[in-house]
Amino acid sequence: MELILSNNHQQLHITNTIPYVLQSFDTSVDIEHYESKGISQDGVSVEGNTLSSRSITIECTLCASSEKELSLLRRRLITLMNPKLRLELIYKGFDNKKIEVAPVKLPYFSPIGCLVCKCLLSFICFNPYWRDAKLIAIDIAKWINGFSFPCEFPNEGIELGYRSPEKIVNIVNEGDSNCDLVIRLRARGNVVNPNIMNINTNEIIALNTTMRSGEVIEICTEYGNKYISSTKDGITTSIWAVKDHRSVFFPLYCGDNPIRYDADENVNSLDVSIYFRQKYLEVY
């Protein structure tokens, strides 16, 4: 197992080797139940539940070859734990997962010799879910390679590739919870009123706009961070106003998600990609 702390400026690896030697890693999440009770009711009725913030505690040992090096190791760890910066913890085990963390307190050091000291790191994760360390990208509308070696070129020419006729792709969410999506639409010609639909739920994200050739529209369904943006000629602007009144910013549900793309005109000039990170309750 390996832990990596990163704040976009630097990284620190905590492993089973020096200088930062992992001693223990503990994490827990409380579950909050919502209950109601009626008159003369025995027991209670459960209305639902939610996950509270996650707590993470890491104990490690700092090992140095000199007192100066030990001081530098401590300094590097304190700098990394700056609560003013965005901090991520990456867990490398059977699979790589990451989570955004915030320090509960600055590192606590306990010397056990001139060149060795123990350190206790405490974090809180306001979003309790672990996520895939690597962003998953799936092309719904895509081009199929029709060229391979060995190859002969006949007089009438050869088809190097062709557009997939499928407009529905099933995306499987293997995580433990619904996850947010980023949908990217790219126009290779003028496309009128593009839309994306979840066939299982009939939820749709529809846009009342005509995309111009080369335009890229990005739709984010993340809770608290929903947006629709357009990029043309290198300039990105918000186009929230083009959202159709029927639109629902649906997530990627656990299990199967048959997703269909369409447009009122020129749908074959539309490329569609979906990006997401699955959510997990724990790491192993």
Q: Residue 217: which CATH number?
A: 2.60.120.860
Q: Tell me how far apart the alpha carbons of residues 260 and 205 are, in angstroms, rounded to a whole number.
A: 11
Is-contact 239 205, C-beta < 8 A?
Answer: no
- Name the residue range of residue 26's domain: 2-37+44-132
Residue that the structure tokens 């090992």 belong to: 63
Domain final position from 114, 132, 150: 132
pTM of the model: 0.86
Identify the domain boundary among 117, 132, 147: 132
Do 143 and 123 share a structural domain? Answer: no
pLDDT (tens, 9 = 90+) of the chain, 284 residues, equals 999 999 988 999 999 999 999 999 999 999 999 999 999 999 999 999 999 999 999 999 999 999 999 999 999 999 999 999 999 999 998 889 999 999 999 999 999 989 999 999 999 999 999 999 999 999 986 655 655 656 665 666 555 555 555 788 999 999 999 999 999 999 999 999 999 999 999 999 999 999 999 999 999 999 999 999 999 999 999 999 999 999 999 999 999 999 999 999 999 999 999 999 999 999 98
Nearest to 278, CA basis, from 117, 139, 115, 99: 99
CA distance 219 to 228: 5
Taking phi over 0 as left and psi of -120 to 50 as alpha, with beta for the rest, 80 belongs to alpha
- Residue 50 burial (CB count, 10 A): 10
Same domain, 104 and 215: no
Q: Are residues 196 and 97 part of one domain?
A: no
Residue 8's domain is classified under what CATH number?
2.40.30.200
In this structure, the answer to whether residues 118 and 152 fall within a common structural domain is no
Last residue within a domain, chosen from 132, 153, 182: 132
Q: In whole angstroms, give the CA distance from residue 209 to residue 240.
A: 11
